[in-house]
Amino acid sequence: MTTDWRVTAASGSEAFDAFLYWPDNVEWSTQLLRLFSYSTLGAADFSEVEFVARSLPVGDEQAWHVGFGGLAQRLDERASTAFAGGHVASALAASARACIYYRLAATFLSMRGETEVPFIEDSRRCFRAVLDLDEQIQSETVEIPYGDQTLPAYLVAAVGRSEPGPGVIVLGGIDAFAEEMYFKIGRALVRQGFTVLLPDGPGQGESRRRRIPARYDYEVAISALVTYLSERPEVDSRRIALIGSSMGGYFAARGAAFEHRLCATVIWGAYYGIDATRPPTVRDGAPSLLEQAMAMFAVSDLQELAAAVEHFNLEGVAQRITSPILILHGGSDVQVPLAHAQRLFEEVLHADKQLIVYPPGQPGCTHCQLDSPLTAHFDILSWLDTFSGSPQLQKERQ
């Protein structure tokens, strides 16, 4: 099946050209924008977040940790009180916000490579409460066979599925946790009729804590995930898609190139590769990419990292992609240059490809559309329906 593709060109400006809460600190502003984005997705509240942010000494990571951790604890306590009183909807809403606040309170510690990060277990506990309290979903905590180890994951679907339907694997980036990817897009996918697999892949989240390192050939892990999902009775093995966000865009591209059981792949923020020969660049005192990569690959110095990422790039990979692929990128992305997306798109040789660039100054222009996640949802969900045949799309076609 061949589809039309479109390119929405950026304006040519290299400026950030997006909301900056702290104009002199892009990294902190980006992490705060990440928090604000969950307000749109029902897992944060803008005023709660802004109330903490206004009191923070910019650049003081401990103050960030304490401020948002304290907010999470207050919501956590409210959730417990609500549940004890039989107020399930209130407990669910408070638990969702507590989950995200705990998670993002720890973001700089996680980025700096700490594996035993305070608040992360609290975040997971609140996430499990969200799954348990939501009567519209069914979920399992699962372990995916991966060599002689297992990868932790959540499997989530809508209640009442009676026959096999489409499935999708959702992968985050270098500092992602499976729990937050549920709120980022997993819940929207469940509502769209997908069975959603949310793993902590090699080098991510709980897998990183277990010392399961990242790898350049991430298709090995993706094949394990596809195998698991294809064997689930509620999933049609012919309709399994993959979404990779941020560095997950690299993982997804590898999967699309080598795992031919995938029916479609979404690169939500392209990432072409890591060059460990370049000196680390530090912006606003934040952890550098190479610092984060060292934690992800479980190495202790740049020499070991250089060996680990020698082949961590998409050279000669995109040409092997044969299934439909959608690439989304922000025109003001300061984490990953737009050139990564353009190069990947050009190197995919078949016609079933689409590149969407959200221009600077317009909704979606930031890294992985942190400023406007629903803009990305609209494009991702509409496009996936075309290839996976969700129940909603099938109903419309009748």
Is 387 part of any domain?
yes
Domain residue limits at 101: 42-135
223 and 246 in a single domain? The answer is yes
Q: Which pLDDT band holds residue 43 (cuts at 50, 70, 90)? A: very high
3-state secondary structure 255-295: HHHHCCCEEEEEEECCCCECCCCCCCCCCCCCCCHHHHHHH
The residue with greater pLDDT, 33 or 391, is: 33
Least confident span in 15-19, 52-56, 162-166, 337-341: 15-19
Asked whether 244 and 266 are in contact (CB, 8 A), the reply is: yes
CATH of residue 96's domain is: 1.20.1440
User: Of 100, 118, 135, which residue constitutes the final position of a domain?
Assistant: 135
**178-189: pLDDT as tens digits:** 999 999 999 999
* Bridge partners of residue 170, in order along the sequence: 243
**What one-character DSSP code corresponds to residue 336?**
S
Phi/psi for 241 (5° steps) reads -110, 170
Is 304 part of any domain?
no
237 and 334 in a single domain? The answer is yes
190 and 175 in a single domain? The answer is yes
* CB proximity list for 255: less than 8 A, separation 6 or greater: 218, 219, 222, 223, 226, 242, 244, 262, 265
129 and 142 in a single domain? The answer is no
Is 159 part of any domain?
yes
pLDDT score recorded for residue 243: 98
User: Of 135, 165, 180, which residue constitutes the final position of a domain?
Assistant: 135
387 and 265 in a single domain? The answer is yes
User: Of 112, 135, 158, which residue constitutes the final position of a domain?
Assistant: 135
143 and 207 in a single domain? The answer is yes
The residue with greater pLDDT, 343 or 23, is: 343
127 and 211 in a single domain? The answer is no
pLDDT score recorded for residue 1: 29
Question: How many residues are listed for the chain in this entry?
Answer: 398
Mean pLDDT (whole number) for 325-332: 96
Is 107 part of any domain?
yes
Is 104 part of any domain?
yes
390 and 338 in a single domain? The answer is yes
pLDDT score recorded for residue 292: 83
pTM of the complete model: 0.91
pLDDT score recorded for residue 281: 62
57 and 67 in a single domain? The answer is yes
113 and 231 in a single domain? The answer is no
Mean pLDDT (whole number) for 203-224: 95
pLDDT score recorded for residue 17: 73
159 and 122 in a single domain? The answer is no
125 and 107 in a single domain? The answer is yes
Number of domains in the chain: 2
pLDDT score recorded for residue 391: 47
56, pLDDT greater than 90: yes
Q: Which pLDDT band holds residue 10 (cuts at 50, 70, 90)? A: very low
* CB proximity list for 82: less than 8 A, separation 6 or greater: 88, 90, 91, 94
Is 243 part of any domain?
yes
